[in-house]
Amino acid sequence: MAEIWFHNITTTTAVRNSFYLAGIPVVEHRMSKKDFEDKFVGNFTGIVGVIDGVTIVNPHTLQRYAGRCTKETPGLYPTDKFDALRVDNIMETAKDLQRRIHTGKLTTEDSLPILSALLSRKFAVGESLTIADCSISEFEDFLSAKSNSHQAKLVKYGNIVRSFEAVRASSLVKNGNKKNRGAEIEDC
């Protein structure tokens, strides 16, 4: 079992969905930003995970752990070195694009062709869901939180749309979200 603490549900979508797809039980602790910063002084990622007593503060490390330990979704983190490299590249690029959009260094419209060029046709990498698809879903959540005007621009990028829709359509993700948005989520 894993536990994660976070203050912003949008910026933790990729980690949470990776654990759901992997079939790894996770207890989620949503906190106010102030409480999170008080409890985890110096943490700038907005998420802390504890797995078997080990504290992890890097969201992509948490995603890779879930992908490697999957019980439910084969290939969630590919064993092929080149495919794993592509997954890592997409995850880092999606996070970097979020940062650049947030700081005004890049527009949403300019970010979409960059991201699309990295993806396969149906899923982010290959022919099945990977943790990179979870990062694409988080990227779309980020864009939605900023403005709904990005949806018209997404129409040109079917591979991005297929990627995040595949994550959201997964029964594992739906059940994880339902469970952890209900009474079982612990507000700290």
Q: Domain containing 31: what range?
A: 2-72+171-183
Same domain? For 65 and 126 the reply is: no
- pLDDT of amino acid 186: 43
Same domain? For 37 and 91 the reply is: no
What CATH number is associated with residue 178?
Answer: 3.40.30.10
pLDDT tens digits for range 31-70 = 988 999 999 988 878 899 999 999 999 999 999 999 999 9
Same domain? For 92 and 146 the reply is: yes
Residue 188 lies in a domain: no
Same domain? For 93 and 163 the reply is: yes
Same domain? For 11 and 49 the reply is: yes
- pLDDT of amino acid 188: 42
Same domain? For 68 and 87 the reply is: no
Residue 12 lies in a domain: yes
- Rounded Cα distance between 98 and 3, Å, is 25
pLDDT tens digits for range 20-31 = 999 999 999 999
What CATH number is associated with residue 131?
Answer: 1.20.1050
pTM above 0.75?
yes
pLDDT band of residue 185 (cuts 50, 70, 90) is: very low
